[in-house]
């Protein structure tokens, strides 16, 4: 058996559908909330999740804490705006789970109901199903990664995680800006340096990579907007880093 684990803050718009899809997989759905001011907790509870609350610790630590509430050792980690499709649900029901393994699924970003096939937001493999006794999240506040041994097998599985994060483009811009500031704080925490070459080259290269190398131009004007916003996210990150360093 697996547990589905979700961390939330102000996810009233999407949490019900996420839990509804998760109920096809398990009787143990864990929601760890970090101060929602909307109806997230009430909706999640009524939908059938076990809801807990804790102050925000950063993405990695928050997910590790959430895993401690699970009934089962196997964790399927989902965001509140994600939903496994029917093929993924069927795959999960038939899997023979091997302890020292991580199971990966393709994640497809959507703007409203439009799936993104190109640009930096193209479908990507994500490590999402693991045994919590063998695998944990790292302690990073943003862009957290799973920590596992060299002997751990990564197994790619059929099915998709559909990611319904953005109903309008401004939500994507806000998310990129928020992650940029968290990334700047992480840079400061790690005492990383930022030279003039990185400041000038990295944002331009990120646009080029997303729009040209990852064929974002095939998404039309949306691909251009996505690529431009991602490049601007790096500029925001660097400006915020400078502000943090000036206060030291």
Longest CA span, the chain: 54
Q: Which of 130, 147, 166 is the last residue of a domain?
A: 166
- d(CA 240, CA 248) in angstroms, rounded, equals 13
Whether residue 95 is found in the same domain as residue 189: no
Query: For the residues 171-198, what does the mean pLDDT come to?
Result: 91
- What is the mean pLDDT of the segment spanning 99-126? 97
How much of the chain, in percent, has pLDDT values that exceed 90? 91
Contact 140, 58 (CB under 8 A): yes
Question: What's the pLDDT score for residue 122?
Answer: 98
Determine the pLDDT at residue 99: 93
Whether residue 105 is found in the same domain as residue 203:
no
| Averaged pLDDT score across all residues of the chain | 96
Domain carrying residue 66:
2-166
Of 126, 150, 166, which residue is a domain's last?
Answer: 166
Report pTM.
0.92
What is the full DSSP assignment across 132-190? TTT-EE-S-SSS--EE--TTPEEEEEEEEEEEEEESSHHHHHHHHHHHHHHHHHHHHHT
- Which of 231, 240, 230, 170 lies closest to 204 in space, CA to CA? 231
Domain end (from 166, 196, 221):
166
Query: 190 pLDDT band (50/70/90 cuts)?
Result: confident
Q: Are residues 89 and 195 in the same domain?
A: no
- Percentage of residues of the chain with pLDDT beyond 70: 100
| Residue-wise pLDDT tens digits, 70-92 | 999 999 999 999 999 999 999 99
**Residue 2: per-residue pLDDT:** 97
* CATH code, domain with 77: 3.90.550.10
Q: Same domain for 34 and 109? A: yes
Mean pLDDT value across residues 21-27: 96
Q: Are residues 74 and 155 in the same domain?
A: yes
């Amino acid at each position: 058996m697996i547990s589905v684990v979700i961390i939330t803050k102000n996810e009233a718009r999407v949490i019900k559908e996420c839990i509804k899809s998760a109920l096809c997989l398990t009787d143990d759905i864990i929601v760890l909330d970090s101060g929602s001011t909307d109806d997230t907790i009430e909706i999640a509870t009524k939908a059938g999740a076990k809801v807990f609350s804790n102050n925000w610790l950063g993405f990695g630590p928050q997910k590790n804490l959430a895993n401690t509430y699970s009934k089962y050792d196997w964790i399927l980690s989902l965001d509140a705006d994600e939903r496994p499709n029917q093929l993924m649900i069927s795959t999960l029901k038939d899997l023979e789970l091997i302890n020292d393994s991580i199971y990966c699924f393709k994640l497809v970003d959507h703007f409203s109901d439009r799936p993104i096939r190109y640009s930096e937001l193209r479908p990507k493999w994500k490590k999402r199903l693991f045994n919590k006794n063998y695998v944990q999240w790292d302690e990073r506040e943003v862009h957290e990664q799973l920590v596992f041994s060299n002997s751990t097998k990564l197994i790619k599985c059929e099915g998709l995680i559909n990611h319904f994060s953005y109903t309008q483009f401004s939500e994507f811009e806000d998310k990129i800006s928020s992650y940029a500031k968290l990334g700047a704080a992480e840079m400061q925490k790690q005492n990383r340096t930022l030279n003039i070459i990185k400041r000038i080259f990295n944002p331009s290269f990120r646009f080029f990579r997303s729009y040209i190398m990852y064929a974002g131009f095939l998404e039309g004007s949306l691909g251009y907007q996505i690529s431009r916003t991602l490049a601007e996210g790096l500029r925001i990150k660097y400006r915020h880093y400078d502000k943090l360093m000036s206060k030291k």
